[in-house]
Structure 1
Amino acid sequence: MALKVLIVDDDFINRKLLHTLLKKNPDVTDMIEAENGSDALDKMKKDPDINLILLDIMMPIVDGIEFLKIFRSDMANGHIPVIVLSTDDTRKTEVFDNGANDFLRKPVKEEILFAKIAQWSQA
């Protein structure tokens, strides 16, 4: 399966780390990076082929929760899985209530991330 993944994180190092991890995954063929939720929404509009989103919560301009609210309000996006990556476990319920499919604690472990990607890309 060829996956196009949108990495949404305001931290350049986190984006690069995820990029490096995803390069090792044979299912991931393309990666797009966004610095915040607003940037991510623009990229989603421009590229309807994105089929998985890795989303940070704490970001400037439009944070992860706001992104989820806007993103999930469009029924056309219902099939695209969103995996939230955060250091803050207390936000778990909130992200699921707003339409996230999964939650991973940072720092992300490669094998767990790949298992989640496999799970959601086949769902």
Structure 2
Amino acid sequence: MLIVDDEPHIGRIIRTRLEQDGFIVYLAEQGQEALAILHQHPSIALVLLDLMMPGMSGIDVLRVMRADVRWATLPCIVLTAAGQDAQLREAEALGVSEIMTKPFSPRRLLSRVQAYTAPAAALSADPSQC
């Protein structure tokens, strides 16, 4: 799983919670870094993506993902602040799996992550198998 959020404390909180539940998690604070991680770990099963990031936005990351056959259907949950209607419509048009508004319930996030990763929930110790 890949978390992309430019607010390090949010990414770390989410990562810690998901790792406690047995998920292997990569964390990126910038769009380019997220794409590099996807290239390095092609078996990533889910992306949690913030839309508002400096430089390469979450929408830009999503556009690149959807244009690449390897990630065209990769489940992606957008985590975003309220009031970004135009960006949310664009994310929906790009095939985002789900949108969760910040602040969100950690329990609900875990439930949604489990729903999207259920077939891949049996993890090994090898991070390339996420």
Q: TM-score, normalised by structure 2?
A: 0.82
In 1: Cα distance, 2:18 partner to 2:117 partner: 14
Local SS of the residue matching 1:100: coil
In 1: Cα distance, 2:16 partner to 2:70 partner: 30
Q: Is there any run of 5+ residues in structure 1 with no aligned partner, and where?
A: none
Q: Could you say which residue in structure 2 is the equivalent of 1:119?
A: 115
Local SS of the residue matching 2:52: coil
Identity, % of aligned positions: 30
- In the TM superposition, structure 1's runs of 4+ consecutive aligned residues that sit over 3 Å from their partners are none
Q: Tell me the CA shift for residue 72 of structure 1.
A: 0.6
Structure 2 residue identity aligned to 1:6: L
Q: Tell me the CA shift for residue 122 of structure 1.
A: 3.6
Q: Could you say which residue in structure 2 is the equivalent of 1:48?
A: 42
C-alpha RMSD over aligned residues: 1.6
In 2: Cα distance, 1:62 partner to 1:34 partner: 12
1:36-86: CA deviations, max 9, x gaps?
A: 111100110111121111000011121100100011101121342110000
Higher alpha-carbon Rg: 2
Paired residues, number: 117
Single out whichever of 101-110 and 85-94 deviates more from structure 2. 85-94
Compare relative contact order (CA 8 Å, sep 6+) and give the higher one, 1 or 2: 2
Alignment of 1:75-94 (within 5 A): 75-89=69-83, 90=85, 91-94=87-90
